[in-house]
Amino acid sequence: MSVPTGSGKTYVAVEAARRAIAENRTVIYTSPLKALSNTKYTEFSKIFGADQVGILTGDRRDNGQAPLLIMTTEILRNLLYDAGGGEIDVRLDTLGLVILDESQYIADPERGVVWEETIIFCPSQARMLLLSASIGNPHDIAEWITSIRPTPCHLVRHTTRTVPLRAGYLHPNGKLTPLFRTVGIPHGHPSYLHPEAKRLFVQYEDETLPSRSRR
């Protein structure tokens, strides 16, 4: 699923997880960062109930037999490695859904191999849901997954931002103002700067340039 930020990726993940749990299947949700995994653990515990959600990271292991498990992608890759060697953990035999959030990391020069191996080694009976707001070539990824998985990969793509971007300027004194006169973000037109932003720029220069000249 390749859609802009704010378009409902988490809602899709929640509903997919809800259906899998209703079928007594294990759900694994991965993120690239421990901090994000902790945030999702708190969020999903409120949605599904604390007894239904567990977390496995390098720092935490809570409720590891829950039907919905939150972890980093590296942890899942390692679990799949272990399963390949005959060691079954966290009910991989009942795995029904794997959700890979921030899946644009597959293009990362150093960590991308983790996402590739996770997709390759994921049990064939499990469905996969990849979520991203910034994959540039989702069709290529979908074709690759279809070529190595037993079921076709269906791409859901949306390019229009539901939540528009707004540019602002935050002065060190805490004052926040729009950066541009226009609602959108212009390109190559510095004259479009908002008057209040210009005033704050000048104020900041007045406060900092004299101290620099004394160095």
Residues 92 and 191 in one domain: no
Cβ atoms within 10 Å, residue 106? 21
pLDDT bracket for residue 190 (50, 70, 90): low
One domain, residues 72 and 175:
no
Choose one of 148, 178, 205: the last residue of a domain: 148
Among 2-6, 9-13, 14-18, 150-154, the minimum mean pLDDT is found in 2-6
Domain-embedded: residue 180: yes
Domain CATH number, residue 55:
3.40.50.300
Single residue among 96, 119, 148 that ends a domain in this structure: 148
Does residue 196 carry a pLDDT above 60?
A: yes
Same domain, 50 and 114: yes
Percent of the chain with pLDDT over 70: 88
Among candidate residues 154, 148, 85, the one with its CA nearest the CA of residue 119: 148
The verdict on 203 and 118 lying in the same domain is no
Based on the domain organization, do 37 and 137 belong to the same domain? yes
Helix (H) or strand (E) holding 9: helix 9-22
- Is the same domain home to 143 and 173? no
pLDDT band per the 50, 70, 90 thresholds, residue 75: very high
d(CA 64, CA 105): 25
| Same domain, residue pair 89 and 34 | yes
Of 130 and 162, more confident: 130
Residue 155 lies in a domain: no
Looking at the structure, tell me whether residues 23 and 111 fall in a common domain.
Answer: yes
Q: Is the pLDDT of residue 163 over 70?
A: no
Task: Give long-range contacts, CB 8 A cutoff, 24+ apart: 36-40.
Answer: 36/101, 36/102, 37/70, 37/71, 37/72, 40/70, 40/101
Residue 214's pLDDT is what? 45
Classify residue 175: in a domain, yes or no.
Answer: yes
Residue 115 placed within a domain: yes
30 pairs with which residues across the strands?
Answer: 71, 100
Together in a domain, 42 and 142: yes
| Residue 161 belongs to a domain | no
Pairing between strand 68-72 and 127-130?
Answer: unpaired
CA–CA dist 155, 129 (Å, integer): 10
Q: Which domain holds residue 177?
A: 168-213
> Does residue 163 fall inside a structural domain?
no
Task: Assess whether 22 and 116 both reside in one domain.
Answer: yes
Residue the block writes with tokens 């793509």: 157
Chain segment 30-71, per-residue pLDDT in tens: 999 999 999 999 999 999 999 999 999 888 889 988 999 999
DSSP lists the bridge partners of residue 100 as 30, 130
Look at residue 154 and tell me if it is in a domain.
no
Residues in the chain: 215
The pLDDT of residue 203 is 84
For the record, the structure tokens of 126 come out as 């499990």
Total domain count for the chain? 2
- In tens, the pLDDT along 81-105 reads 887 665 556 567 789 999 999 999 9
Q: List Cα–Cα distances, 85 to 61, 74, 81, 101, 145, in angstroms.
A: 22, 17, 7, 26, 23
Looking at the domain assignment, is residue 125 inside a domain? Answer: yes
pTM value?
0.75
| Residue 174 burial (10 A CB sphere; 0-12, 13-18, 19+) | exposed
Question: What is the token pair recorded at 84?
Answer: 């390949």
Same domain as 112, residue 198: no
Q: Both 30 and 89 in a single domain? A: yes
- Residue 22: how many other CB atoms lie within 10 Å: 9
